[in-house]
Each structure stands twice: as structure tokens, then as C-alpha cells.
Structure 1
Amino acid sequence: MAVRAFDSIIIGAGPAGEGAAMKLAKAGQRVAVVEAHNQVGGGCTHWGTIPSKALRHSIQMLADYRRNPLFHHTVDQAEVEFPDLLRAADSVIDHQVRTRYRYYQRNRVEVVFGRARFVDAQRIDLVRPDGASESLRANHFVIATGSRPYHPPDVDFGHHRVLDSDSILGLQHTPRTMTIYGAGVIGCEYASIMSYLDIKVNLVDTRDRLLSFLDDEITDALSYHLREQGVVIRHDEAYEAVEPGDDGVVLHCKSGKKLKTDVLLWANGRSGNTEDMGLEAIGLTPNRRGQLEVNDSYQTDLPHIYAVGDVAGPPALASASYDQGRFVGAHIADGQCDWSLVDEFPTGIYSVPEISSVGRTERQLTADQVPYEVAQAHFKAIARAQITGHTVGMLKILFHRETLEILGIHCFGEQASEIIHIGQAIMRQPPPANTIQYFAETTFNYPTMAEAYRVAALNGLNRLF
């Protein structure tokens, strides 16, 4: 069998793989991208970020329609089913796939569809969808195979009432009741989406509060609004067993609780896609979650083989994964990278309303004994929010009492994931440019949601004197 040679081979065509491929191609390398799915885009495009956020957008439009007094006489006629929302997401996915594939064509990156398996440290065998096989050789490899929902061995995911964040996208009816096991980002987002379809939702949290990595005030607000939508949140619970049947599925909790609903959505953890890749044969052993250990340059124990994105562990965000891919591409092409990834990247949770955060929380600053002050702007006082009707939410800025340096920004409300980037840009500036006074002394368009920064800054500075 003839062996085709490349400078670098990327395994996986999600955000991490795409970032690496584009950077290497622009450096003049001959690059191949191997993708096990029949389309580019990875889990982000087909099962994760894009479909769930498209669903969330449709739900927000439905909520706006129901709230708008212009349409009160027609609200009862607006019956939307879950499959209708999925069809709306399909068009976004198709457009994303076409766009991403053009990137590869434009940069002369060869995309090869099939499953890759390492034969040795410099070569992979590839099995194409039609059963044909070939061998590819390269000087460097980037493993960007992503992740999938974690499946405990004692849970029957073959049953039609037991779903995960992938299989829920194939749900062809709107259930009346749902239990979501796992209250992380995915669990909270789907709890929010489903509650707006008038589905009775149990959100089972294995911890004592939702999204404990976020600011406490923000997660308290999320809990409040989920409960307002009818979601029942159960903290500090762990499953004993999952019992699917013809008329529903029962979640047995170790506390003795039994929750019976039409369907169960398992949203507790993810596993790296490293199975059957021949990694152990070349000296790479994934951890129990299928993830590969890497150094600060995303190199595995074999320095010419890199791992980026979900398969390399946290933060498992599409945005961070793309940047990791670009970083690795530069490292391979130049032998080093003259720029570093930011430590404080924004987090976005696409619930209804949205949450976004960057920097440290009040809890962290208190533990570190940092003298900080709080600047807040409630959206109900912002003219643009009053115009759009999105008055739920707030912008919260944490800043140093003495230097006025911005230490953290936390936003809850519509467009939070967009609003956060204004503050992020200032936080990235070296002192003395990074100061809350920037927002107090800057003119913002009026009316805009960005004006919340000025309102918060003035309120925060007033607390100092």
C-alpha cells in the first residue's frame, strides 16, 4: 500500500482542528485533516454549540413573541413543538458546514473522511466510509478528536426514553415531562430551553449550587429564573439507578427520591474521543475520561504529537479550542510560539437569559484577601433594555478599591455573551489603561446595552467616597 506524506496531519475537523490546519496551511505546510464524521465542523457544529444555541435563539424569539403586547391576541395560536425548533437549527448547521469546507478548499488543506488509527508514531492507517483504506505519514500530528457525552455502563442509552446531549437532537416529539441529570452548562441550558416549551423539568444537581465556578450572585439569579419557569431544582443528589419503561423513565437517587418523567436527559460529564486510535501502541495512554495529558505547549509524551480541544481536557469551549489549535499550528511551524493564550477567557452559558463571565469572582477575591468593590447596573434601569423588553438581568464589575483595576466582570441577561467582550477588551490592557474609570469617562451610544458599563462604573465609584 502506497503511503502519502504530509508535513502535518490533523485528526478531527472541529474548531481545534480547524484552527491548527489554517495556521499550518498559511505557514506553507502540506496539511491533511482527517475527519471520522461525513462532514466537517466536529461536535461543535453538529451536536453541541451550534444546534443548542440555535435552539436557544428560537426559544428566545418565542418568549419575546409571547411577551409582546402586540401579539397577545394570537399567543394561544402559537404552538411550537421541539422538532420544529430542530428544523430551524438544521439550516444553521448546513450553512456552517459549507462555510467551514470553503475555508479548507481556499487554503488548500486536504480533507480526508475516515477513521484514523496510529500504526506507529509517524504513520496512521485510514479506513474510509466505503471500506477502502490508505496510509498517511507526517512529521507532526495534532489530535483534535473532541469529546462525546459520558455514558455510565449501568445506564441503558439504547432505550428511546434515555437521552444525552447528542441524541436529544433526534427527538421527534415534545415530551410533557423531563428529568435532566447534571446541572452543568449543558444541563442548565437545556432546562431553560425545555421549560419555555412548557415541559415540566426536574434539574438534578450533583452539587450544592448551580454552576459553582461562576459568581454566586449570578447563579442565584439563574436559579431564581429557572424556578420561575417551573423548573424544580434538586441539589446534592446522586443517581442510584436509571429505570426506563414503556410509560416513562424513573431516576432512582441515593437519597431515596424517585423521579418519573417521560424522558431522561443525561448531562453529567463528557469523554474524550480516543478509543480505537492505536494510542496505547505508540506509548500514549488516555486517562479514565479518554483525555490526553499535555504540557504547556499542548504536546503529549511524544513531542511531535499534540492534543488540543476537548480531548486535552478543560476548558472544553469551542472558542478556546480554536485558539489552542492556532497556538499549536504556530508551535509546529516555527518551533515555538511568540504569543500565549489568555488565562482569563470569557465563559458563556446560553440559558434564557444568558450568562457570561470573565475574570475572578467575589468568592475568589475574598479568599485571596483582595480589597475590591462592586459596580452594578441593573438592566431594568437601562433604556435599551426597556425598549426591547429584556429588563431581566444585570452587569456586575469587580474592581480594586485602590488601583481601580478591573478584576472581574459578570453579566446576566439578554446578550450577556456579547456585552462581556467590551469589558474583556479593557481588562486585557496593561495598567493604567485597565481601570473602571475608563467606563465612567467614555461616551457610549444611547440607547444601548453597552451603556450599562457607564452606569455600573459611576455607581461603583460612588461607593468609594
Structure 2
Amino acid sequence: MEKFDLIVIGSGPAGRRAAIQAAKLGKSVLVVENRLRVGGVSVHTGTIPSKTLRETVLNLSGWRERGFYGLAYRVKRDIEGKDLGARLRMTLDHEIDVLEHQFARNGVRTVAGKARFVNPHQLAVKHSEESESNFEAENVVIAVGTSPYRPKHIPFNETSVFDSDNIAADPRVPKSLTVVGAGVIGLEYATIYSAMDVPVTLVEPREQFLEFIDREIIEEFVHELRKRGMQLRLGVTVDAVDLDAQGWAVSTLSDGRKIRTEMLLYAAGRVGATAGLGLETCGIEADDRGRLKVDQKTFQTNVPNIYAAGDVIGFPSLASTAMEQGRIAACHAFGAPMPPAPEYFPYGIYAVPEISTVGLTEQQVKAKSIPYECGIARFRETSRGHIMGLQSGMMKLIFSLKTRRLLGAHIIGEGATELVHIGQAVLNLKGTVDYFVENAFNYPTLAEAYKIAALDAFNRMAPREPGKAASIEG
């Protein structure tokens, strides 16, 4: 039986970062991946495919240029599934090649198969019906990710009714689409298809969605969706889905309404891919959605040598945070020093338009009874926005009236997921409104919106006390 210092189950963002961190600490590492190629959900069916699909659609549809050339402008008149799939395959092959090279360069072993705990230190890996190997490890990191939630009353068939994994496997361009679930994944796919002028109906059982995002940003987002004709059915559930004679999906909603579309994407939740891991042999229990409970500082489960990281531990389920969780787990497992985690990290939602946010929302600031002021900048107010033909997009900055410090940065529009990192740095360094007002930004850039939004707030704030310099100490 081969022995390793660390075995990582799963090779997505959390798994790869845990494995490489442990290898850099001089430890022997084995990564077990149940696919034939490494990358996990992130590379094969999740983050990379959906973002590649988004970029392909925005390029081929001419979406970014319509502000200048009109709503009828197209780079390619008739976009087909094969157009979407070609770029997707090239991107996935590149991502897998880079990851395999990283593992090889750092001496990380990989093996294909399904892992199962025999005890807290021993795993059996099933390669095929006849073949199985056993491995032993000092520590284990569970980074298996999630799989789509598939309720029994939804007739998934991968021709007209899809989940969020198989819709990316062989992308098509339907005549119409129903998306069930207004979470991050559902919104991303709904808006991507809408950008191709596919009529989209979005169904969500809650009256509101993305509750962790500042409501003013969501109001702007909803306005954009309605302006381009997307149908929003909020506060209703899908009671049944049937297929008609043409194979189209007919959804019956709880309010009695019926929606008929060529395709339906069910994206209402995901479950941790923990079934079959044999967790019961170690005394670990998953919740009703297959997720694992961990110490949020060390990512240890209730079994000291077993860690879990990434989507399998639940919110926020971001690739960026999953990587940090995997790194921290590996460091803690082998007693390596860990710098304190930053107080705030950014969220990125790759819808059309993009949404990105860091820090406190206005609702959270109010709940904490912090005296505050907000500043708003519209992208159309920037010269770069005019050059790009942007007609929408906004930035919202929230500042403390007492300390003048930045409390939150919230952005919707082109480049939001890139722009947010300026706000992230200022926020974590405890910077103030005066930083934005007193510093120069490249011109013309969308980043100039930081100065515009800061000035908007600055003009309503009391002047800084004479002789008192702005300080990162707040």
C-alpha cells in the first residue's frame, strides 16, 4: 500500500491549490480525480465552460458594439452550437494542459478513479469494475465539489431539458429557453442566451434573488433584463414539466401559468458530491444537500486529519475562495504558518452585464447603524465609456462618515469583475474616500469611475479636519 503525506480527492480549484501548496512544503501528494482528465467541475462543466461560452457569445453577437452600431448589429448573423463548442474545446484543452504541467512540475501524483474511505487514513480508489488500489495518507483534503440538484419531477433528457452541467457539454442555440433558478448559475446562463436574442423566461420561487448583493445593483440589473425583453417570473415554483409532441418543454407554474420553450435549464441548486465517499467509516456526516461542516479558519472536519474545501462546504462557492481554502487547509495540516485571511474578498457574477462586489452592502451598513454616505458613477459619465459605446453600467461606493473609510464597492457593467480589485485593495488596506479624490487614475479608463463615485460622496461629506492626513489606519 502506497503512503502519502496528503491525499486530495478532487482536482478543482480547492484540490489543486491544496495539492500544490503541500508539494511546495516538501510533502508527498496524491490527487484522486474521478474523471479521466484533471480539472474537476470548474474546468469541465462549471466555471471555465460557462465563462468561455459567455465570451464567445459576446464576441460573435457583437453585443459590446451595439451601443455604436445599433441593436441589429451582429458579427456573425446566425450563431450555431458548433460556433460555441469550438472555442470551448480549445479553452478546456489549454486549461487541462496547464494544470497537468503544474502537477508534474511540483511532483504531484495523479490517479483516475473514485475514492472511498476505508478509515480516516486509508482510501480505496476504484479505477474500473475490476481494478482497485489502496492508498494511505497522513492527511486528506476532500475537494469533490458539487453536482446539479435533479428533482424527480423534472424530466431531464439532455435534448430539451438540461441541468447546468450537461448544457455546457454540447452547447446549442434554441429558439426559446426557460431557466429555473435565479441563482448565480441560472442568471449567468439566462443572460448569456438572452445576449444572442434567444427569448428567455426566468423562473424563481423567491420574490428576490442574489440577496447578498446590494439591492441598488440588483434593481439596475433587473432593469437591464426587462429592457431587453427577458420575462421574470418571481415568487412562483415549477410544479411540473411535460414534453409536447414536438419535444418542447411545457412548464406548469404554481400560479397556473404555462410556459412553452424549446429548451429548459434547471439550475435551482447544487448538492455536494459526497455520496459514495464512505464518510460514515470516518464518523463524518454530510447535510441534506451533501455539504460538509468545517472549522471556517482551518477547514478541518470533525475528524482532525480530514479537511474539506471548495463548493462542498457551501457558501460562497467561488473558485477564488475555494483556492484559498485549499491552500489554508494544506498549510494547517502540516503546521505551516498562515497569514490571517483578508477581511473582505470579492464576488464575481459573470452574467450579462457583469456584477462584482466587495465589502458591506448598503443594507448591511444600515443594519450595523454605521453613519455613511454613498457615491454613484455611471459608466456613460466616463470618457472611456463613451469610447466603448457603453449605455449602462454603474459603480457604487459606500463610505463611513466617522472614519471616511471605504466600506463597500459594488459594480455592474462591462469589466466589473476586473474593476472590483481596486476597491478590494483599498478596503482591505483601510483606505478612505480621500485616496480616490487625491490620486490620479489613467485617463481614459473605466477605473476613473472610482474618482467620480468618490467625488459624488465627498461633496456631501464634512471636510476632513485641517492638518489631518488621510491614513490607512482610518
TM-score, normalization: structure 2? 0.93
Q: Does the 8 Å CA contact 1:327/1:337 hold for their aligned counterparts?
A: no
Aligned to 1:56, which of 54, 76, 79?
54
Shifted more, 197-206 versus 57-66: the winner is: 57-66
Instruction: Specify the code of the residue in structure 1 equivalent to 2:40.
Output: G
Tell me the residue number matched to 1:280. Answer: 280
Q: Does the 8 Å CA contact 1:164/1:267 hold for their aligned counterparts?
A: yes
Q: Does the 8 Å CA contact 1:210/1:223 hold for their aligned counterparts?
A: no
Q: Does the 8 Å CA contact 2:2/2:134 hold for their aligned counterparts?
A: yes
Change (3 A) 1:222 1:11: same
CA distance in 2, matches of 1:303, 1:203: 43
Change (3 A) 1:172 1:338: closer
Instruction: Specify the code of the residue in structure 1 equivalent to 2:350.
Output: Y
Provide, for residues 70-90 of structure 1, a one-character-per-residue CA deviation record: whole Å limited to 9, x for no partner. 799974862212331122122
Q: Does the 8 Å CA contact 2:65/2:389 hold for their aligned counterparts?
A: no
| Secondary structure of 2:334 counterpart | helix
CA shift for structure 1 position 232:
0.2
Matches within 5 A, 1:392-403: 392-403=392-403
CA distance in 1, matches of 2:171, 2:337: 47
CA distance in 1, matches of 2:89, 2:24: 31
CA distance in 2, matches of 1:413, 1:113: 41
Instruction: Specify the code of the residue in structure 2 equivalent to 1:231.
Output: M
| Secondary structure of 2:436 counterpart | helix
CA distance in 2, matches of 1:157, 1:27: 45
CA shift for structure 1 position 67:
1.7
Tell me the residue number matched to 1:381. Answer: 381
Shifted more, 267-276 versus 189-198: the winner is: 189-198
Q: Does the 8 Å CA contact 2:66/2:73 hold for their aligned counterparts?
A: no
Shifted more, 136-145 versus 112-121: the winner is: 112-121
Is 2:147 the counterpart of 1:148? yes
Tell me the residue number matched to 2:449. Answer: 452
Aligned to 1:28, which of 26, 29, 49?
26
CA distance in 2, matches of 1:77, 1:274: 43
CA shift for structure 1 position 35:
0.5
CA distance in 1, matches of 2:267, 2:435: 41
Change (3 A) 1:404 1:71: closer
Change (3 A) 1:338 1:66: closer
Q: Runs ≥4 in structure 1, deviation > 4 angstroms?
A: 68-74
CA shift for structure 1 position 337:
4.4
Change (3 A) 1:345 1:73: closer
Is 2:318 the counterpart of 1:325? no
CA shift for structure 1 position 187:
1.1
| Secondary structure of 1:8 counterpart | strand
Tell me the residue number matched to 1:109. Answer: 108
CA distance in 1, matches of 2:63, 2:266: 29
Matches within 5 A, 1:346-361: 346-361=346-361
RMSD: 1.8
Instruction: Specify the code of the residue in structure 1 equivalent to 2:146.
Output: S
Instruction: Specify the code of the residue in structure 2 equivalent to 1:363.
Output: Q
CA shift for structure 1 position 226:
1.1
Tell me the residue number matched to 1:45. Answer: 43
Change (3 A) 1:454 1:16: same
Q: Does the 8 Å CA contact 2:141/2:308 hold for their aligned counterparts?
A: yes
| Secondary structure of 1:21 counterpart | helix
- Aligned residue pairs total 459
Instruction: Specify the code of the residue in structure 2 equivalent to 1:330.
Output: C
Q: Does the 8 Å CA contact 2:67/2:390 hold for their aligned counterparts?
A: no
| Secondary structure of 1:268 counterpart | coil
| Secondary structure of 2:62 counterpart | helix
Shifted more, 82-91 versus 45-54: the winner is: 82-91
Shifted more, 266-275 versus 130-139: the winner is: 130-139
CA distance in 2, matches of 1:74, 1:269: 35
Q: Does the 8 Å CA contact 2:238/2:252 hold for their aligned counterparts?
A: yes
CA shift for structure 1 position 318:
0.4
| Secondary structure of 1:78 counterpart | coil
CA distance in 1, matches of 2:319, 2:26: 25
CA shift for structure 1 position 179:
0.7
Tell me the residue number matched to 2:302. Answer: 301
| Secondary structure of 2:220 counterpart | helix
Tell me the residue number matched to 1:127. Answer: 126
CA shift for structure 1 position 210:
3.0
Is 2:345 the counterpart of 1:345? yes
CA distance in 2, matches of 1:426, 1:66: 32
CA shift for structure 1 position 463:
1.4
Structure 2: segments with no counterpart, 5+ residues: 463-474
| Secondary structure of 1:219 counterpart | helix
CA distance in 2, matches of 1:18, 1:170: 22
Provide, for residues 25-64 of structure 1, a one-character-per-residue CA deviation record: whole Å limited to 9, x for no partner. 0001001000001111111111111111111112222234
Instruction: Specify the code of the residue in structure 2 equivalent to 1:377.
Output: A
CA shift for structure 1 position 300:
1.1
Instruction: Specify the code of the residue in structure 2 equivalent to 1:353.
Output: P
| Secondary structure of 1:243 counterpart | strand
Change (3 A) 1:72 1:360: closer
Provide, for residues 81-113 of structure 1, a one-character-per-residue CA deviation record: whole Å limited to 9, x for no partner. 233112212211111110011100000000111
Instruction: Specify the code of the residue in structure 1 equivalent to 2:42.
Output: C
Matches within 5 A, 1:66-105: 67=66, 75=74, 78-105=77-104
CA shift for structure 1 position 412:
0.7
CA distance in 2, matches of 1:411, 1:72: 24
TM-score, normalization: structure 1? 0.95
CA distance in 1, matches of 2:175, 2:292: 40
CA shift for structure 1 position 254:
1.8
Q: Does the 8 Å CA contact 2:393/2:411 hold for their aligned counterparts?
A: yes
Tell me the residue number matched to 1:439. Answer: 436
Tell me the residue number matched to 1:367. Answer: 367
Tell me the residue number matched to 2:472. Answer: none
Q: Does the 8 Å CA contact 1:81/1:197 hold for their aligned counterparts?
A: no
| Secondary structure of 1:453 counterpart | helix
CA distance in 2, matches of 1:28, 1:113: 23
CA distance in 2, matches of 1:76, 1:448: 25
Aligned-residue identity in percent: 40
CA distance in 2, matches of 1:366, 1:239: 35
CA shift for structure 1 position 457:
1.1
Structure 1: segments with no counterpart, 5+ residues: none
Q: Does the 8 Å CA contact 1:324/1:341 hold for their aligned counterparts?
A: no
CA distance in 1, matches of 2:73, 2:379: 28
CA distance in 2, matches of 1:77, 1:8: 49
Tell me the residue number matched to 1:226. Answer: 225
Matches within 5 A, 1:243-322: 243-247=242-246, 248-296=248-296, 297-322=298-323
| Secondary structure of 2:118 counterpart | strand
| Secondary structure of 1:152 counterpart | coil
